[in-house]
Amino acid sequence: MPPTRNRAAVPEQLGFAGMPERLFVCTPSKLGAYLDCPRRYRYSYVDRPTPPKGPPWAHNSLGASVHTALKNWYALPPERREPGALPTLLKSTWVREGYRDVELERAAYRRALDWLETYVATLDPEEEPLGVERVVAAKTSVLALNGRADRIDARVGPEGPEAVIVDYKTGRTGLHADDARGSQALALYAYAAQRVFRRPCYRVELHHLPTGTVAAHEHTDESLARQVRRAEEAATDIMAAEKAVAGGADPDETFPTNPGSLCGWCDFRKVCPAGASVAAKEPWAAVEHLAG
């Protein structure tokens, strides 16, 4: 049977004896940290004081700079949304941390400006999104979810006005429809946006600026509900783990390591027993190719 697009929300429920259960307050990135590696989650959200992190990453600086420039582009009046505004926008909020040297930083700035110029040429300056870096929130029986979507577009679909989730990406590799389909964060934004804007929101898009490509997926009520269910399962596991540690369980066993390719990029590599054996990446490793 083909999936339907009828409204089928995950129902809000009451817990034992009609008492509301405590909701797990989270963002998609908090859930994602646990799903990637429970130990990384513990270092980020449970251990206090937070263990020392490694130095800032140049790719995070680059991503933040591009995101902020696009946010500020939409803050301009429509008649000033033109490519000529971009150098000032990018320069004024450029994040300098993590680059090997000024030469690499300049190369990254020039590439970022190229990406932005190409990208804004595809946008209609008259079009006002429903939200830019907009926080959307929703509750289920387990989650009090909130997150900041890069952009939420107002579009007209086959059945009328729709909201579309847009996420900007600045990483090296291009993205595919499977990346959009599998992203829990995008699905949770869509789920929350439906409730905030009271209009259908099924389409999610990854806009990869370095290649100027868009990877998109059309969700259904079923696929959104599935992602919400997975998020709820993760939240239930996290709450049980946090409770166990508060009750005296061994935190290392309760939040196990998940060694793998992410370790080289992990902020806590130096304090983590699994990460300490992994070769360190230089803070600029993911942007070095931009100098070529």
The answer to whether residues 21 and 239 touch, using CB atoms and an 8 Å cutoff, is no
In the complex with ligand SF4, the residue whose CB is nearer, 65 or 254, is 254
**Is position 258 an interface residue for ligand SF4 (rule: CB under 6 A)?**
yes
The single residue among 144, 262, 285, 291 that binds ligand SF4, judged by CB under 6 A, is 262
In the complex with ligand SF4, the residue whose CB is nearer, 54 or 171, is 54
The answer to whether residues 266 and 249 touch, using CB atoms and an 8 Å cutoff, is no
Beta bridge partners of 216: 205
CA distance 152 to 129: 6
Contact segment (CB under 6 A) with ligand SF4 among 184-192, 217-225, 266-274, 281-289 equals: 266-274
In the complex with ligand SF4, the residue whose CB is nearer, 47 or 288, is 47
* Residues found in the chain: 292
Pick the closest to residue 213 from 243, 255, 183, 170 (CA basis): 170
**Is position 151 an interface residue for ligand SF4 (rule: CB under 6 A)?**
no
**Is position 184 an interface residue for ligand SF4 (rule: CB under 6 A)?**
no
Which two structure tokens, joined as six digits, stand for 266?
């992990």
**Is position 268 an interface residue for ligand SF4 (rule: CB under 6 A)?**
yes
The single residue among 263, 286, 287, 290 that binds ligand SF4, judged by CB under 6 A, is 263
Of 40-59, binders to ligand SF4 (CB under 6 A) are 40
Of 9-38, binders to ligand SF4 (CB under 6 A) are 37
The single residue among 72, 195, 259, 288 that binds ligand SF4, judged by CB under 6 A, is 259
Counting Cα atoms < 13 Å in the Cβ hemisphere of 200 gives 19
Contact segment (CB under 6 A) with ligand SF4 among 8-16, 125-133, 176-184, 260-268 equals: 260-268
Q: Is the peptide bond before 28 cis (omega within 30 degrees of 0)?
A: no
- Compute the least distance from the CB of residue 54 to ligand SF4, in Å: 10
The answer to whether residues 49 and 180 touch, using CB atoms and an 8 Å cutoff, is no
| DSSP letter (8 states) at residue 151 | E
CB-based contacts of 251, cutoff 8 Å, min separation 6: 42, 46, 47, 245
**Is position 275 an interface residue for ligand SF4 (rule: CB under 6 A)?**
yes
- Which parts of this chain interact with ligand SF4 (CB under 6 A)? 37, 39-40, 257-259, 262-263, 266, 268-269, 272, 274-275
